[in-house]
Each structure stands twice: as structure tokens, then as C-alpha cells.
Amino acid sequence: MKLYSFSWFSLLALANLSLQVLSASQDFDFFYFVQQWPGSYCDSKQSCCYPTTGKPAADFGIHGLWPNYKDGSYPSNCDPNNPFDQSEISDLTSSLQKNWPTLACPSGSGLKFWEHEWEKHGTCSESVLDQHAYFQTTLNLKRKVNLLQVLKSAGIQPNGDLYSIENIKEAIQNGIGYSAWIECNVDSSGNSQLYQVYLCVDTSASNLIECPVFPNGKCASQIEFPSF
């Protein structure tokens, strides 16, 4: 019978290989930067609850910054050993409440929303962005991309009217310089409405890029842009 022996060097090499595999599993190709229209979130069968800080501004709010792969799949919950820590972002709280508000029920401060976004998505980009940088960078992207102003400048107002989805995409392309993907939901009457806008960002989270791939899903050719 042949016996196999492992030296400490062999064991360390195996441990290092395991760490490399774990690290490789957290690589990604680009980010989706996703903003949502609160009027559409609230004008649905599930309805909404305003945060404990009060009704958010009538503006697009951040949903998240999501690492993604070019094949359309995405990593998630990459590091259970790096949980959300409120103290890491204490200096950003007021800006997060304004630009990244929760609309889920029951009413909350936003902490559960931000915790979910960090632990599901943020941990998968921790090789690039630590917890504070993840939220700070996403807020910076929001300041860089003023979707509501871009749409209003093209005559697309959140007034409950119907607009061509092609006109919405064209307005964003002309105003921002990059193609966007539009996600729709339906209101309580079943009408298709502008819900979320996806833009793509490079792996440094610094620059907008053309999306390598868009999510799946369809909107009607004419969609509502509800008031809030």
C-alpha cells in the first residue's frame, strides 16, 4: 500500500490555491448602476411606505450598484465575513437618506435596504471598493447622472402621461452619452410604467460605459411616467 504524506508547504500551497479560487469567484466584468422612480414603485399593487424620515423628493432614487458578468449572470453574497457596518458610513447617512431612500413596507430608516445592497452586491466588489467607498462611489454616480433633468429637458415629465419608450431611451442617450436599459412595472390598473433605469459602469466604478449586455424583460411601446 502506497502512503502519501503532505508537508506544511504543500498544505499552505493548497490553502493559497483555495484563496485564489475564492478571489477569482469574486471577479466581475462591469457594474449596473440602477436608479428607480418612486412614483412607479408606489403606484403598484404592492404599494409603498415612505421612510421614517418622510416622503422622499420627487426624483430618481438609487436602487444599487451591482457587479455583473458579460454573460448576463452576476455574483452575489460574496463575503459573509464582511457584514454591513453602519458605523462605516455614518458620515454618509443624510446623503443616503436623500438619494438612496427605502420605500419598502413597513417604514424604515433605510439601514435594512443599504445592508441588503452591501451584503448581496457590494461584497462582490470589495476587491475594488470597501464598504464606505461602495456607498460614496454610488452617491457620486447619482450626482453625475441627473436622470430626471435629462428627461425633463427632452419634454418627458413625470405627470402621468404616456411616452414612447424609444423617446425615453433616446433622451437618455443624448443627455448622458450612453445607452440605458429601461425596466417597467405595472400600475394598479395594469398599465406599463417607467420603473428603473440601468446604466453601466466600468470595474473601477469611475466611468460610465456602454453596457456589454442588458437584462431580460420587456416594456410596452408606450409607457406611463407617473407623478410622485
- In 14-82, DSSP assigns E strands to 30-36, 61-68
Catalytically annotated residue among 88, 116, 117, 183 = 117
- In 44-124, DSSP assigns E strands to 61-68
Give the torsion sign (CA, 41, 135, 120, 202): positive
Query: Is 116 tagged catalytic?
Result: no
Query: Is 121 tagged catalytic?
Result: yes
Q: Residues 136, 146: contact at Cβ < 8 Å?
A: no
Catalytically annotated residue among 63, 119, 183, 224 = 63
CA distance 160 to 60: 15
Task: Report the greatest alpha carbon distance in the chain.
Answer: 81
Catalytically annotated residue among 116, 119, 121, 210 = 121
Question: φ and ψ at 184, to 5 degrees?
Answer: -110, 155
| Residues involved in catalysis | 63, 117, 121
